[in-house]
Amino acid sequence: MKFNEALKEIKTYEAGKPIELVVREFGVEPKDVVKLASNENPKGCSPQVAKVIADNASRAYLYPDDSMFELKEALSKKFDVQDDNIIIGAGSDQVLEFVSRALLTSGDSVLMSQVTFAMYEIYAKQMGAKIVRTPSYRHIVSEFIEAYNEHKPKIVYICTPNNPTGDATSKEDVLAIINAVSKESLVVVDGAYMEYAAAKDEKYRIEPKDIMDFSNVIYLGTFSKAYGLGGMRVGYGIANAELIYELYKMRPPFNITTLSLAAAIEAIKDEEFVEESISLHAQEIKRYEEFAQEHGFKYIDSYTNFITYLFDETIDSTEISDKLLKEGVIIRNLASYKMNAVRITIGTQKQNDRLFEVLERTLI
């Protein structure tokens, strides 16, 4: 059987390792596993949301409201846009997939920074597109403009704050890139961690409203990170109505679940939970910065719910990650991104205590 030629170019996405794997392979008790690998909210989700999910359990046999009217209404209020500016996906990942399928054909190219969210490449390659990367892991305006002019990519991805590095691109720089791109190309502004960046420094805050006037820009957001609903798989794209209309042609019916829909609607009502999550995070991340300073390695100033530690040649990120894993502490090795670095989700105080204790022993 012959598969689509495009598949030859694709390496499967390496997801953060699950708790179950550590329990199975290393015999660690589930309660002793500390999972700091997938940028989940360590506080869990809002208790109000958990209650709504439980209350809706008996409605699981029903398909969800396919218009997603209530969720779109809540999002349109939150972001001051119209409901025809919004498309909902099973995670913003699914919206990325819609974008890729709606725009790319074999031979097109797409542009992204050197080290960024791995799914951009995978969705683009599924369509037979070529990947162009800027030289730096940070989003540098001049590098984007130069690469854009040379390759005329069909899609330009701006991940701010950026995963897996944690740095962010200012609104001013994002607008500079958008302004340099012709209306023949789409700019995707992926704000999966925007809540954290906006809370840290206003100059990084990008609202869908700020970029909606451009016909060729889409903003992506998700409930997976600050809202603590990774397991519910709800994300959204916000753009002008014509673009959303085209993306809708890619959407399968009932693409999020009845429980996910109820959870996301409730999550928007409890913004206080998000604020609390961000302030816990702001306290705890300081300890990660201090730990790095004390142990003499570098880190990237983070605008997200994780921190990226950069090691010199005396420390090997794969070795460190493997040793931690055996002790039940799951972090994300960035060796597959060709970086001698690890990405660690900021956990609860207790989880972080354990991480520091194990990492300290491992480093000696």
Contact of 217 with 99, CB cutoff 8 Å: no
Which two three-digit tokens encode residue 197?
A: 């960046």
With binding defined as CB under 6 A, does residue 230 bind ligand PLP? Answer: yes
Binding mask 281-320 for ligand PLP (x = CB under 6 A): ----------------------------------------
Selected from 222, 255, 260, 345, the binder of ligand PLP by CB under 6 A is: 222
With binding defined as CB under 6 A, does residue 235 bind ligand PLP? Answer: yes
- Assign 3-class secondary structure to 286-297: HHHHHHHHHHCC
Q: For residues 278 and 270, give the distance between their C-alpha atoms in angstroms, rounded to a whole number.
A: 13
Give the range of 89-97, 177-185, 325-333, 356-364 binding ligand PLP by CB under 6 A: 89-97
Give the range of 97-105, 127-135, 210-218, 224-232 binding ligand PLP by CB under 6 A: 224-232
Contact of 191 with 136, CB cutoff 8 Å: no
Selected from 91, 166, 328, 347, the binder of ligand PLP by CB under 6 A is: 91
With binding defined as CB under 6 A, does residue 163 bind ligand PLP? Answer: yes
With binding defined as CB under 6 A, does residue 92 bind ligand PLP? Answer: yes
CA distances from 19 to 75, 118, 328 (A): 33, 22, 8
Q: What are phi and psi of 136, to 5 degrees?
A: -95, 155
Selected from 113, 224, 240, 352, the binder of ligand PLP by CB under 6 A is: 224
Of 113, 93, 114, nearest in space to 38 by CA: 93
CA distances from 78 to 73, 75, 163, 207 (A): 9, 5, 24, 10
Site for ligand PLP in 178-197 (CB under 6 A): 190, 192
**Count of all residues that appear for the chain in the document:** 364
Q: For residues 360 and 328, give the distance between their C-alpha atoms in angstroms, rounded to a whole number.
A: 15
288: left (phi over 0), alpha (psi -120 to 50) or beta: alpha
| Smallest separation (angstroms) from ligand PLP to the CB of 92 | 4
Of 189, 206, 188, nearest in space to 197 by CA: 206
Q: Which residue is nearest to ligand PLP (CB)?
A: 91
Selected from 75, 85, 87, 93, the binder of ligand PLP by CB under 6 A is: 93
Selected from 159, 211, 212, 341, the binder of ligand PLP by CB under 6 A is: 159
Which two three-digit tokens encode residue 204?
A: 């990084």
| Smallest separation (angstroms) from ligand PLP to the CB of 304 | 8
Residue 107 or 231 having the CB closest to ligand PLP: 231
| Smallest separation (angstroms) from ligand PLP to the CB of 33 | 21
Selected from 37, 42, 88, 117, the binder of ligand PLP by CB under 6 A is: 117
Residue 23 or 102 having the CB closest to ligand PLP: 102
Q: What are phi and psi of 329, to 5 degrees?
A: -110, 115
**Residues at the interface with ligand PLP (CB under 6 A):** 91-93, 117, 159, 163, 190, 192, 222, 224-225, 230, 235
